[in-house]
């Protein structure tokens, strides 16, 4: 019954069912159970009409004493209700004939709304419900009044089809009455007791028609546990299956390349770097291929760890490939690799700009095995690229590559180790869910020689003073990033654009300075030329968009100014700030915001000014924006992919679900539980697993 089309319910039919499927993804009756209310109104407190006063929002219960149509130019319906203490009149505009048929003298009704007064107490368009006169008030089956009332997200199309909050309450009540007893509890009773969780059936009923506001949270946590548990269960099984499919590989003995490179490093490794290297080395010494994420704050030294992993691979006679999302970042990795690895590892670069002769030379070197490390972009996954013995794959800024692209590179090796890197610190809850199939190494410490960036914020009215400071730093030989949120002006938003500010700077503000413009719509050759000029010191100010967010490393750039800082997320601002502070000079990050900035935007900016720890900032960013915006995957509905789990506040629930799922996945019931997930009996469809899994890929 749960898997029947929602069109089977009374009053819906194929056309209205199609609207539900297109607008909110509700196709089956089960889907209705998992359509979460957006908020609730507390109409559980029922008052005597005599105790009701103007402007109060109340619920009253009484008997219809009189109905009449009033008004001349605009007709309306009056319904007078008496509860024995006083009377109140409900006023209904429009659809008079409908209300005439609906209300009859003697009906027992609930009215909920705000009290007004015109000759008598009244409510304009109150929410209402009817109930059997024989029932007492403690057992009223009302769904619109006299209780905690759910409100559902809607749209113009849904409303036109009759699916406003009132319409959703009606069909969900019908679904509960018909099918609630068909809901199968997928979890063991002992597990529910351990974590003080209500049963799934009770939770799904209570999320829509709770007896109290406290019950709403209990129901949400129970269904959230389902989402988190089955995601972790899936990850555990898929990870185990991947290991079994990979088989057991042969581990060869290392040569001394690793030790040679470490001795030549011009700096000391931090404790976090040493720990990450040992974790990576342990994985690479395992008979099962490595599947690890290396996450670290900007400037924490992830690249060094990755290059030392290359040394381990090379020491075993394996080749390595490092794939970056942009040519700029690939070029910088190539330069860093040549500097650190020196003559120990033969290195090549392969990008879309590599000319035909050089490309063919690299192809031959990779196929013959004479090239130990190739650094590149998507060009690495082209058909002509073949490796003699690819043993290590490193993917930088992994979230910028699709699962197909990552798999295409991994297919070029056999039992290859995988190390993915990200400069975006990931909150703990996301690490355990979205990236739960990866082992995790974290680098929080920054090298001792790094001078912390000073961050300050100013209203737009203080820009003239900022311009004077920029001039002074240029006179001292420093370079400046100047970041805007838009490339061009837009009629839809009142924001400055990079092109607009570039024009003003060159003609009015800094006419004698060397200024360049960089943005994402430029051709790659033009971007490379502009960045070469900035890196080479022939540009004083680089006016740009967020195209510089990752992978740009110019030691002489000591100031970054970000206009309309209120338009960026905290983590993105932190990434932009990481473009400076890479040299021996004190660096500054200047955030510019409107004079009339809103309070929540001002709070975000204050957090960034007060903190330089990317992990703290990431946690705050998740709380403020939610998982969907944090990940850049905001979608229709619950943007994180979860309907009920809140990754910003459910860390304890995530840990519990992860532990229980790991235990369940390795006992004899794993296959049975997986079949249950696939059949839908454990609410696989209702928990929107497809959307959750899309985040993993």
d(CA 78, CA 67): 6
Place of tokens 């995790």: 440
- Neighbouring residues of 664: CB distance < 8 A, sequence distance ≥ 6: 233, 670, 673
Mean pLDDT (the chain, rounded): 83
What pLDDT shows up at residue 413?
A: 81
Residue pLDDT, tens place only, 247-287? 555 566 667 889 989 988 888 899 999 999 999 999 998 88
| H-run or E-run covering 22 | helix 13-24
d(CA 281, CA 294): 13
Res. 157 pLDDT band, cuts 50 70 90? confident
Q: In this predicted model, which residue has the larger pLDDT, 397 or 103?
A: 103
For residues 571 and 630, the answer to whether their CB atoms sit within 8 Å is: yes
Cα four-point dihedral sign 589, 594, 599, 601: negative
Mean pLDDT of 569-582: 88
Res. 489 pLDDT band, cuts 50 70 90? confident
Q: What share of the chain has pLDDT > 70, as a percent?
A: 85
For residues 44 and 58, the answer to whether their CB atoms sit within 8 Å is: no
What pLDDT shows up at residue 598?
A: 87
Task: Provide the token pair at 228.
Answer: 């988190």
What pLDDT shows up at residue 138?
A: 36
d(CA 658, CA 663): 9
**Residue 562, pLDDT above cutoff 90:** yes
Which range has the worst mean pLDDT, 1-5, 27-31, 498-502, 639-643? 639-643
What pLDDT shows up at residue 3?
A: 84
CB burial of 481-499 (b: ≥16 within 10 Å; e: otherwise) equals: bbbbbbbeeeeeeebbbbb
**Residue 123, pLDDT above cutoff 90:** yes
Task: Please give the backbone phi and psi of residue 441, each rounded to the nearest 5 degrees, phi first.
Answer: -115, 135
d(CA 93, CA 195): 50
For residues 128 and 167, the answer to whether their CB atoms sit within 8 Å is: no
Greatest mean pLDDT among 76-80, 140-144, 571-575: 76-80
Q: In this predicted model, which residue has the larger pLDDT, 547 or 89?
A: 89
Q: What is the DSSP letter of 212?
A: S
Which range has the worst mean pLDDT, 151-155, 213-217, 332-336, 681-685? 681-685
What pLDDT shows up at residue 683?
A: 41
For residues 484 and 545, the answer to whether their CB atoms sit within 8 Å is: yes
**Residue 108, pLDDT above cutoff 60:** yes
Mean pLDDT of 214-230: 91
What pLDDT shows up at residue 593?
A: 95
**Residue 428, pLDDT above cutoff 90:** no
Mean pLDDT of 357-376: 95
**Residue 484, pLDDT above cutoff 90:** yes
d(CA 554, CA 545): 16
Question: Could you tell me whether strands 347-350 and 373-376 are parallel, antiparallel, or unpaired per DSSP bridges?
Answer: parallel
Greatest mean pLDDT among 77-86, 293-302, 622-631: 77-86
What pLDDT shows up at residue 513?
A: 96
What pLDDT shows up at residue 137?
A: 39
Residue pLDDT, tens place only, 200-209? 999 999 999 9
**Residue 661, pLDDT above cutoff 90:** no
For residues 513 and 534, the answer to whether their CB atoms sit within 8 Å is: no
Mean pLDDT of 570-586: 88
CA 467, 471, 476: angle at the middle one, nearest 5?
145
Mean pLDDT of 530-538: 91
Res. 92 pLDDT band, cuts 50 70 90? very high
Q: What share of the chain has pLDDT > 90, as a percent?
A: 39
What pLDDT shows up at residue 626?
A: 58
Work out the angle between the directed axes of helices 213-246 and 670-679 (0-180°, nearest 10): 120
Task: Walk across the sheet containing 291-296 and list its strands.
Answer: 347-350, 373-376, 319-323, 390-396, 417-422, 291-296, 439-443
Q: What is the DSSP letter of 683?
A: S
Mean pLDDT of 6-20: 88
For residues 541 and 474, the answer to whether their CB atoms sit within 8 Å is: yes
What pLDDT shows up at residue 42?
A: 76
What pLDDT shows up at residue 508?
A: 94
How many contiguous H segments (helices) and E segments (strands) does the chain have? 25, 22
d(CA 337, CA 168): 59
For residues 67 and 105, the answer to whether their CB atoms sit within 8 Å is: yes
- Neighbouring residues of 598: CB distance < 8 A, sequence distance ≥ 6: 566
Give the residue from 185, 243, 201, 223 showing the smallest Cα distance to 673. Answer: 185
Q: In this predicted model, which residue has the larger pLDDT, 149 or 432?
A: 149
For residues 223 and 231, the answer to whether their CB atoms sit within 8 Å is: no
Mean pLDDT of 123-140: 62
What pLDDT shows up at residue 167?
A: 85
CA 147, 151, 153: angle at the middle one, nearest 5?
170
What pLDDT shows up at residue 139?
A: 35
CB burial of 540-552 (b: ≥16 within 10 Å; e: otherwise) equals: bbbbbbbbbbbbb
Task: Please give the backbone phi and psi of residue 309, each rounded to the nearest 5 degrees, phi first.
Answer: -65, -35
Distances (CA, A) of 190 to 194, 512, 655, 667, 676: 6, 75, 17, 15, 19
Task: Provide the token pair at 332.
Answer: 């910088």
d(CA 444, CA 431): 15
Question: Could you tell me whether strands 557-562 and 479-483 are parallel, antiparallel, or unpaired per DSSP bridges?
Answer: parallel
Greatest mean pLDDT among 71-75, 78-82, 258-262: 78-82
Mean pLDDT of 303-315: 93
What pLDDT shows up at residue 570?
A: 86
d(CA 633, CA 694): 10
Q: Is 415 left (phi over 0), alpha (psi -120 to 50) or beta?
A: left
**Residue 638, pLDDT above cutoff 70:** no
For residues 45 and 58, the answer to whether their CB atoms sit within 8 Å is: yes
Number of neighbours of residue 14 by Cβ within 10 angstroms: 8
**Residue 631, pLDDT above cutoff 50:** no
**Residue 695, pLDDT above cutoff 80:** no
d(CA 397, CA 455): 25
Greatest mean pLDDT among 385-389, 419-423, 664-668: 385-389
Give the residue from 542, 538, 491, 535 showing the smallest Cα distance to 516. Answer: 542
Task: Please give the backbone phi and psi of residue 410, each rounded to the nearest 5 degrees, phi first.
Answer: -65, -30
Question: Could you tell me whether strands 541-544 and 557-562 are parallel, antiparallel, or unpaired per DSSP bridges?
Answer: unpaired
Task: Provide the token pair at 496.
Answer: 């400055």
Burial class (CB in 10 A: 0-12, 13-18, 19+), 238: middle
Give the residue from 67, 108, 103, 119 showing the smallest Cα distance to 84. Answer: 108
Q: In this predicted model, which residue has the larger pLDDT, 670 or 254?
A: 254
Mean pLDDT of 640-647: 75
**Residue 658, pLDDT above cutoff 90:** no
Q: What is the DSSP letter of 143?
A: S
């Amino acid at each position: 019954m749960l898997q029947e089309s929602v069109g089977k319910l009374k009053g819906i039919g194929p056309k209205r069912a199609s609207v539900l499927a297109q607008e909110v993804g509700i196709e089956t009756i089960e889907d209705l159970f998992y359509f979460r209310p957006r908020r609730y109104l507390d109409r559980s407190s029922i008052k005597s009409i005599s105790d009701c006063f103007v402007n109060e929002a109340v619920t009253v219960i009484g008997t219809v004493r009189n109905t009449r149509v009033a008004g001349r130019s605009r007709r309306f319906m009056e319904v007078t209700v008496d509860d024995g203490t006083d009377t109140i009149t409900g006023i209904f505009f429009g659809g008079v004939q409908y209300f005439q048929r609906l209300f009859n003298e003697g009906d027992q009704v609930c009215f909920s709304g705000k009290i007004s007064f015109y000759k008598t107490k009244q409510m304009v368009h109150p929410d209402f419900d009817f109930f059997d006169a024989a029932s007492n008030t403690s057992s009223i089956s009302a769904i619109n009044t006299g209780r905690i009332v759910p409100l559902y997200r809607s749209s113009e199309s849904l409303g036109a089809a009759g699916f406003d909050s009132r319409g959703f309450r009606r069909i969900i009540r019908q679904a509960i009455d018909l099918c609630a007893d068909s809901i199968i509890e997928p979890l063991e009773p002992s597990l529910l007791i351990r974590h003080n969780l209500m049963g799934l059936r009770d939770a799904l009923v209570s999320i829509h028609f709770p007896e109290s506001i406290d019950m709403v949270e209990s129901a949400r946590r129970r269904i959230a546990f389902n989402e988190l548990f089955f995601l972790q269960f899936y990850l555990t099984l898929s990870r185990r299956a991947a290991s079994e499919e990979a088989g057991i590989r042969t581990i060869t003995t290392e040569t001394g390349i690793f030790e040679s490179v470490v001795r030549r490093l011009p700096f000391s490794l931090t404790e976090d770097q040493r720990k990450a290297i040992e974790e990576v080395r342990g994985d690479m010494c395992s008979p099962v291929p490595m599947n690890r994420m290396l996450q670290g704050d900007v400037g924490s030294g992830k690249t060094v760890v990755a290059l030392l992993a290359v040394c381990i691979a090379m020491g075993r006679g394996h080749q390595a490939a490092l794939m970056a999302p942009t040519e700029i970042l690939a070029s910088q990795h190539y330069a860093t690799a040549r500097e650190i690895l020196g003559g120990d590892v033969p290195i090549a670069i392969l990008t879309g700009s590599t000319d035909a002769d050089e490309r063919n030379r690299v192809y031959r070197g990779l196929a013959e095995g004479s090239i130990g490390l190739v650094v590149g972009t998507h060009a690495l996954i082209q058909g002509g690229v073949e490796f003699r013995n690819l043993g290590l794959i490193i993917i930088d800024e992994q979230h910028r590559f699709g699962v197909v692209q990552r798999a295409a590179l991994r297919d070029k090796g056999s039992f290859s180790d995988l190390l993915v890197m990200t400069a975006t610190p990931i909150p703990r809850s996301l690490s355990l869910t979205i990236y739960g199939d990866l082992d995790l190494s974290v680098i929080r410490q920054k090298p001792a020689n790094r001078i912390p960036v000073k961050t300050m914020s100013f209203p737009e009215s203080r820009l003239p003073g900022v311009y004077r400071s920029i001039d002074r730093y240029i006179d001292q030989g420093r370079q400046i990033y100047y970041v805007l949120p838009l490339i061009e002006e837009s009629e839809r938003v009142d924001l400055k654009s990079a092109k607009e500010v570039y024009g003003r700077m060159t003609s009015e503000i800094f006419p004698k300075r060397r200024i360049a413009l960089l943005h994402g719509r430029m051709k790659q050759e033009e971007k490379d030329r502009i960045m070469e000029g900035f890196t080479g010191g022939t540009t004083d100010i680089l006016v740009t968009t967020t195209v510089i967010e990752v992978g740009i490393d110019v030691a002489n750039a000591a100031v970054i100014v970000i206009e309309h800082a209120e338009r960026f997320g905290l983590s993105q601002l932190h990434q932009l700030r990481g473009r400076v502070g890479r040299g021996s000079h004190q660096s500054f990050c200047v955030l510019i915001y409107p004079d009339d900035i809103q309070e929540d935007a001002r709070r975000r900016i204050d957090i960034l000014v007060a903190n330089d720890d990317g992990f703290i900032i990431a946690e705050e960013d998740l709380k403020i924006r939610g998982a969907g915006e944090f990940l850049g995957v905001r979608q229709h509905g619950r943007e994180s992919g979860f309907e009920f789990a809140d990754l910003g506040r459910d860390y304890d629930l995530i840990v519990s679900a992860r532990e229980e799922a790991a235990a369940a996945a390795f006992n004899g019931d794993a296959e049975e539980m997986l079949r249950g997930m696939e059949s839908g009996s454990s609410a696989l469809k209702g928990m929107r697993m497809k959307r959750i899994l899309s985040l993993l890929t």
